[in-house]
Chain A
Amino acid sequence: MSVTATARITAVADGRGSTALPLLESDGPLALRRTRSPETGYARVTVVGAMSAPLGGDRLAVEVRAEDGARLTVDAAAATVALPGAGPDAGPASYTVRLSAGEGAELRWLPEQLVSARGSALDMTTRADLAPTARLVLREEQVLGRHGEPTGRLSTRLTVRRAGRPLLDQHLAYGPGAPGGWDRAAVLGGHRAVGQLLLVDPAFDHGLPAPRLLGTTAALTPLAGPAVLVTALAPDARLLRAVLDEALEGLLKDSRALRRR
């Protein structure tokens, strides 16, 4: 009953200032479509089919490679909803995202929200390996429960390595069966939407933005390498996205200004 599927994308610089997609492979519930990028020089791929997956027991994976000099945006048509599996023995679902970006490449990984429905169990793993001159824009949003329902069990691990060295490593675990205290003052403080926005840019070697608060439950923080992380908590998905969108716009402006210097 459960599904095992791996979708693959490879983007390469086509030598004429644009980006080609020699590999665009959908699999199972992960349907990929090449879509029009609003920016010249960028290829864009939209994940259109993940709406009803993953169910308990499913093993889904997405592998995205932006080769040297390629510019790729991957987004999604709809939120991903983790749902309980068929029967009590379905076990947790897993969703693995592997990203890599080569020298001078830019990868924007901008999926929609991950919603943890009541009774579901999902282990999400995202790993990004970046060349020293690669840029990465990555957004993750976890929404605990659909409207008015308690959350399922959700665990997300985000590991980013740059030039083979660790840049960011975070593991979040929520819901029934997660270690105690996850919804209280130290971890979520009762919030139901959590988001991370990461911008890795070698231009930040010339100066990282200072840390600043974005309202009372979000902060922009420079990491120990050339990267900035926005961590945000919000009562719901819409308010969370508003904070992350505003932060992203500001950060892209900052990094463009640094590269012009």
Chain B
Amino acid sequence: MTTRAALLVLADGRFPAGGHAHSGGAEPAVKAGHIRNAQDLADFCLGRLHTTGLTVAALAAAAAHGLDPLALDEAADARTPSPALRAVARKLGRQLMRAARATWPSPALTALAEARPRGAHQPVVLGLTARAAGLEPADAAHCVAYETVSGPATAVVRLLSLDPFEATAVLARLAPALDEVAEQAAEAARHGIDALPAASAPLLDITAEAHAAWPVRLFAS
């Protein structure tokens, strides 16, 4: 069975899962003057991809591989020290769950929705969704790894009025690194939950807390 089209549907930015409201930490980075141009955006995305990106891609791959989603949800909590980011991950997980159950209904999705009514971590839900759609763990990892950089790139277009062509070129140049991270994530998932990476980005954890307290912001995170 070929599933390439299912991957396009799941990875499409128009898939109704609410991700567009999140900048992946880019909004506070722009405000702090850390992102001023396309090169800064590329550096930011590369750092995020190799830290948070690898960690969440592996969680998604592990869920797609069939590891216990509740144990993965707990592993995701342990890898997310920022309560603001835990809340975002669960909110996005809840939104994705709603879309996924309508798109690719499966008993595993229903069971996770019932066990975590307020939302499971988004990468875990995405992994189960990929599984329900007949996709491979590596597909789930690609999808999540790509989201960790496409979110900031889209946000920076709005925040800095960066040329959308330039932002897309940044993403295109990241393609080899994305493949590498997704493969690494899928490989880790084959070795069980204790082998999952926990790469973290201290500055993203700190600025997420600062950003959550801003009275006015363009993006939810």
User: Which residues on A are within 8 Å of B, measured CB to CB?
Assistant: 157, 159-160, 165-173, 179-182, 184-189, 191, 194, 211-213, 216-219, 221-224, 229, 231-233
Q: Which residues in B have some Cβ–Cβ distance to A below 8 Å?
A: 25, 29, 32, 34-35, 40, 43-52, 54, 74-75, 77-84, 86, 177, 197-206, 209-210, 213
Among residues of A, the one whose C-beta sits closest to the C-beta of B46 is A181
Contact B209 A171 (CB under 8 A): no
Q: Are B47 and A221 in contact (CB under 8 A)?
A: no
Which A residues are CB-close (under 8 A) to B84? 211
Interface SS of B by simple majority? helix
Known: A180-B177, A181-B43, A181-B48. A186 touches B203 (CB 8 A): yes
Task: Return the 7 tightest CB-CB contacts between A and B, nearest first.
Answer: A181-B47, A179-B50, A186-B47, A185-B34, A181-B46, A166-B78, A224-B77
Chain B contacts for A187, CB-based, 8 A:
47, 51, 201-204
Choice from A169, A211, A222 contacting B75 with Cβ under 8 Å: A169
CB pair B205 A221 closer than 8 Å: yes
CB atoms of A188 and B198 under 8 A apart: no
Q: List 27 A-B contacts (CB under 8 A).
A: A166-B78, A168-B81, A171-B197, A172-B202, A179-B50, A180-B50, A181-B43, A181-B48, A181-B50, A184-B44, A184-B46, A185-B44, A185-B47, A186-B203, A187-B47, A187-B202, A194-B202, A212-B209, A213-B210, A218-B206, A219-B205, A219-B206, A221-B205, A224-B78, A231-B81, A231-B206, A233-B202
Q: Point out the residue from A212, A219, A232 that lies within 8 Å of B82, measured CB to CB.
A: A219
Nearest to A181 among chain B residues (CB) is B47
> Nearest chain-B residue to A212 (Cβ)?
B209
Q: How far is the CA of A180 from the CA of B47 in the complex (A)?
A: 6
Quick check: A169 and B210 within 8 Å, CB to CB?
no
Using Cβ atoms and an 8 Å threshold, which residues of chain B touch A179? 50-51, 54, 199
Q: Name the residue of chain B whose CB is nearest to the CB of A198.
A: B81
* A residues near B197, Cβ cutoff 8 Å: 171
Is A186 touching B209 in the complex (CB atoms < 8 A)? no
Q: A185-B29, A186-B47 are in contact. Are A222 and B83 (CB under 8 A)?
A: yes
Contact between A169 and B50, CB atoms less than 8 A apart: no
